[in-house]
Structure 1
Amino acid sequence: MTAPGQTENEATPLEWREGDMPYSTQFGDHFYCQTDGRLECGHVFLAGNGLPERWQRPGEFRIGELGFGTGLNFCETWRQWEQTAPFDASLHFTSFELLPLAANEIDRALAHWPEVDAERKALTALWPERPEGIVSLNLNDRVRLTVVCGEAGTNVPLWDGIFDAWFLDGFAPSRNPTMWSLDLMTAVCEKTAMDGTFATYAAAGFVRRNLQAAGFVVERRPGFAGKREMLCGIRLSKDPA
């Protein structure tokens, strides 16, 4: 969730709408889908990346994310991982976030979903009081979370790691175009394993074009909760026939 001219120590201006739904007054956007953010995660980010089917293998599966927000995507992914992943597999979830929320804000937002109560409690128990730099949390012996605080446009190109799947979940492109720029999408593609994938709720034309120009083969799919389209794609290891 990137905004030009900000530092990582600035707090995100929040409003709480409809009880416990966080809304960014800075970006003029909700942190997640108003219909049901947890179900949206399943439809867009998990299914859009072919998960959990793709993590049915031994070894480490690496997910990158733009926009950690409330941690909802991580908690839902972790929940489904625990239910479906083989015992000889591990998950490393890395998220790039300019303005990390406080533990009490994460706790309040995620309390809406009893399905992720265990994950919410484990996350907030370990979350630092003032997250900055690189936050690295070992949630258990198979699941690791890394949150890289600061500008994604700076940190993604410098990150020493490759990802099997990306969740592109910044604020709406019309509200925060920097998060969807060609430079950042190019960096995302360069940090994607061959035959690795991305998925996003966004379907704006310039986002699709930037992802294609970055090197992804992009596909339109039906969006969540009546939204007409979402985007997903792959970094092919060879040119399509």
Structure 2
Amino acid sequence: MTSPPEPSTPLDWRDDVPVSTRFDDPYFSLENGLEETRHVFLSGNDLPDRFRFGFHVAELGFGTGLNLLATLQAWRASGQEGMLRYTSFEAFPITPEEMRRAQGAFPELAPLAADLAPHWGAEYITLADLDFRLVTGDARTTLPHWQRTADAWFLDGFSPARNPELWEEPLMQQVFAHTSPGGTAATYTAAGFVRRGLQSAGFEVTRIPGYGRKRHMTRAVKPAS
């Protein structure tokens, strides 16, 4: 069961960085979105070191698809066999044209972006090394019905001050319930109520150095037993 996505709203652009007019927040760092993704979501989840056959990444906030591209690039570079499983929950999907424009800011990802460009807008993408699903609708409604668990979560909603719905404690409890034992979650925010929500859900939470001008970010681990 999925909820229909909310109507798309126009984006503002600051050079190559799209900014949500709904939340008045950029989709990725104005400094370097790719390096932010690598620092926060890959390193924050100990990737690519934890990659293994059947590894599953889940994400709150698909946005421009940058995190998917960076993760698939790391997967391919690691030489890992099999398919990367990747599920993203997104309430406000942007258009394929907007995705392609945003991804154009990262020439390093151009070959990957070209591989996936024909598929943007699809609910499922299947490549030789990728099993992707986009779940549209409010994650507070859709995640409880998801039947799988993730080894790593990318918590990438807009700023908690502007998009508090995606950081509420009941949703963090659902993230915990849909995390494999020993799995992890990472996010760019170190907001106190987000860390408390993750702790209350059952994660072991630490505050670690953030990217760029953000002094801290959050890493969470689900106990293995």
Name the TM-score class by shorter chain. over 0.9
CA RMSD of aligned residues (A): 1.3
Give the TM-score of the pair, scaled to structure 1.
0.89
The residue aligned with 2:125 is: 137
Answering whether residue 223 of structure 2 is matched by residue 230 of structure 1, we say no
TM-fit CA distance, 1:126: 1.3
Answering whether residue 38 of structure 2 is matched by residue 45 of structure 1, we say no
Aligned pair partner of 2:118 in 103, 125, 128: 125
The residue aligned with 2:28 is: 32
TM-fit CA distance, 1:69: 0.1
Counterpart CA distance in 2 for 1:78 and 1:148 is 19
Q: Which runs of 5+ in 2 are unaligned?
A: none
The residue aligned with 1:21 is: 17
After superposition, what is the alpha-carbon deviation per residue over 1:112-168, rounded to whole angstroms, capped at 9, x for unaligned?
10111112112221123xx5xxx0101x21212111010111111110111000000
Aligned pair partner of 1:214 in 201, 206, 209: 201
Q: Where in structure 2 are the equivalents of 1:20-169 lying within 5 Å?
A: 20-55=16-51, 57=52, 59-87=53-81, 89-128=82-121, 135-138=123-126, 140-169=127-156
The secondary structure found in structure 1 opposite 2:83 is strand
Contact 2:85 2:130 in 1 (8 A): yes
Q: Which runs of 5+ in 1 are unaligned?
A: 1-5
Count of matched residue pairs: 223
Q: Where in structure 2 are the equivalents of 1:169-208 lying within 5 Å?
A: 169-208=156-195
Contact 1:52 1:85 in 2 (8 A): no
Counterpart CA distance in 2 for 1:148 and 1:11 is 15
The secondary structure found in structure 1 opposite 2:50 is helix
Contact 2:4 2:136 in 1 (8 A): no
TM-fit CA distance, 1:216: 0.4
The secondary structure found in structure 2 opposite 1:173 is coil
Matched to 1:205, the amino acid is G
Aligned pair partner of 1:11 in 8, 11, 17: 8
Counterpart CA distance in 1 for 2:213 and 2:6 is 37
TM-fit CA distance, 1:90: 2.2
Contact 1:20 1:108 in 2 (8 A): yes
Counterpart CA distance in 2 for 1:228 and 1:124 is 34
Task: Give the 3 Å change call, closer, same or farther, for CA 184–85 of structure 1 in structure 2.
Answer: farther
TM-fit CA distance, 1:7: 5.5
TM-fit CA distance, 1:31: 0.5
Give the TM-score of the pair, scaled to structure 2.
0.96
TM-fit CA distance, 1:80: 1.1
Contact 1:66 1:168 in 2 (8 A): yes
Percent identity at matched positions?
43
